[in-house]
A and B are shown apart, each in its own frame.
Chain A
């Protein structure tokens, strides 16, 4: 049963792991080439949106948010009929967020798939607001915030989920059982907020279950607009609201979020440098993941336990690249 709960809460996990040899110089050069690319700059107030699925309205079960094709280990872990319905709901949530931001004056929108289902390709491009640029697919350089830079006025997370080990719906945190920076526990929103914070971009909106919103307040403070899309009553059960109601909340929330940003009301999330990043890979992973992480030779990792590592760095972006590297070990 414990294994099952772990399995349910796992989004980016698989027992199917290719044992990786150390990165070659050619691989690193190729990756750096991709990292150097940018999203075209547009005029006007720019919004970067990261839609995840666990925290979206109505979703309670991993079968609703997985396509089943992520790796062979995911076969049978999806209800295709459900996932299809939830793709449309997801797309509409993003559209509502964009619509709200637009009302408050935002003019440029980049949406970066933050959910690993179907390997980061959940949104229906044909149904997405036509003004949005969509970053989709895997692997991509900064998993959840690929393409963000200092030209963005704000960062929004929709459908986010609570941290690994918390009593939220489908809680997890990348590939980790534990993740801290300078001893501060961070969830996925917190980690990405720091990367963006270093570029001067602050988080103005977070939507997800009640547990996620509360824990994120503890990390980022009161500045952002928090939208409770559902109240968790189990890891796979929740008190939920009509998708139409959730979209209304997102629309109103995004408008308020942009107003707050434009009034200069939300400071970027920062932590003192150097960052001491400590993480423990999930106990449910096979040892080959540990081996694979050790082989990421472009990062100076210190192993601090059987599955625990430390990175000391002055660059949150570098930490983001490390996350991408680890995600690659897990998903490839």
Chain B
């Protein structure tokens, strides 16, 4: 159990602390049997019950590595109970403050509904301080949840934002990673975690409005998604060091950026990310997962997956972005298993 928790933290966090996968005997139940894996349509229907008609709904993904001043995974991104330190609590508050700043800005820009989805596994997707979050927000929290970072996303959402985001696996950003992958492309285009949410939302006609994180994240996300609003909260000078703006200054920038983003979206200036169908997904598992024969073969057995090139690399072709989201989910289950 504790190992499983540890691994849960590893997945949406850094590539560095991984070697724990081997030893213990495995539960080889197919991932589809796991609660939550096939529930993404149900989750979407449930969130649709809460959707406002006729307003402007912003869907905010809240991650942590890209928060103001955050640089170190082991001490700042992980709770004490799981080997971290009490500093994590301060960053939970920072995450809450940054989400609140985005909501305030979006509201000033004309947004009327705010959905926040926990995107960081540090405390199993329970990071925001619920009593301090903007009271108008709907918060999706806990783990497991379907399509981890895009739970419940639906066509009635008017725009996506991500805060505290980190740069892609292999990039020179702070605590850079991408789910369980070393690389992930759709039709040859490289996507980071923000890009994957943009892809799933894009198919529903939901545009991506804003990304906040370090300079590497904001630059790469603009390159992927076009002229979205970005807020650079720090400049990476290593994988765990940054030149950081004051958190208070970051909150001002987030507020201004979100307001601008919503105004631009309302004026039709920000378009959904659209790919030609069918989508040709190519992914390579993170190296330590790729080396794990059980993970590799289990992922390889998912319906529609074919081996493609190197060890732990697969191709998957589909005409549904939500199906890709579900695939991400199943892979996550597999790598998180004890």
Contacts and interface: CB of A to CB of B under 8 A. Distances in A.
Interface of A: 1-2, 4-5, 7, 57-58, 60-61, 63-64, 76, 79, 81-82, 85, 88-89, 167, 169, 210, 231-245
A57 B152 CA distance: 19
A240 B143 contact: no
B27 A234 contact: no
A4 B4 contact: yes
A242 B142 contact: no
Sorted nearest first, the 3 A-B pairs with minimum C-beta distance are: A237-B142, A60-B142, A237-B145
B133 A242 contact: yes
Given A60-B126, A79-B81, A242 B140 contact: no
A61 B126 contact: yes
A186 B29 CA distance: 30
A173 B32 CA distance: 26
B124 interface: yes
Contacts of B134: 242
Given A79-B79, A237-B145, A89 B130 contact: yes
Given A89-B130, A235-B36, A242-B136, 19 more contacts: A1-B337, A1-B338, A2-B29, A57-B130, A61-B126, A79-B123, A85-B130, A231-B49, A231-B50, A233-B39, A235-B144, A236-B124, A238-B141, A239-B43, A239-B152, A240-B140, A240-B141, A242-B137, A243-B131
Given A1-B27, A60-B126, A61-B126, A237 B141 contact: yes
Of listed B43, B125, B134, residue having the most chain A CB within 10 A? B43
B132 to A, nearest CB: 10
B151 interface: yes
A81 B90 CA distance: 12
Secondary structure call for the B interface = loop
Given A1-B337, A79-B79, A234-B36, A239 B46 contact: yes
Given A239-B152, A240-B130, A242-B130, A233 B143 contact: no
Nearest to B86: A81
Contacts of B267: none
Interface string B135-175: 11111111111100001100000000000000000000000
Contact of A244 (B29, B50, B135, B142): B135
B203 to A, nearest CB: 20
B183 to A, nearest CB: 28
A146 to B, nearest CB: 30
A169 B130 CA distance: 17
B130 A231 contact: no
A173 B39 CA distance: 23
A1 B138 contact: no
A65 to B, nearest CB: 12
B31 to A, nearest CB: 10
25 contacts: A1-B27, A1-B29, A1-B338, A2-B27, A4-B1, A4-B338, A58-B139, A58-B141, A79-B81, A79-B123, A82-B123, A85-B130, A210-B46, A233-B145, A234-B36, A234-B145, A235-B36, A235-B144, A236-B143, A237-B36, A238-B140, A239-B151, A240-B139, A242-B133, A242-B135
Contacts of B146: 233-234
Contact of A234 (B129, B135, B142): B142
Contacts of B125: 237
Given A5-B35, A231-B47, A89 B79 contact: no
Contacts of A64: 126
A235 B126 contact: no
Nearest to A234: B36
Nearest to A232: B46
A85 B124 contact: no
Nearest to A241: B138
Contacts of B135: 242, 244-245
Interface in B71-115: 79-81, 89
Nearest to A228: B49
A57 B129 CA distance: 13
B248 interface: no
Nearest to B151: A233
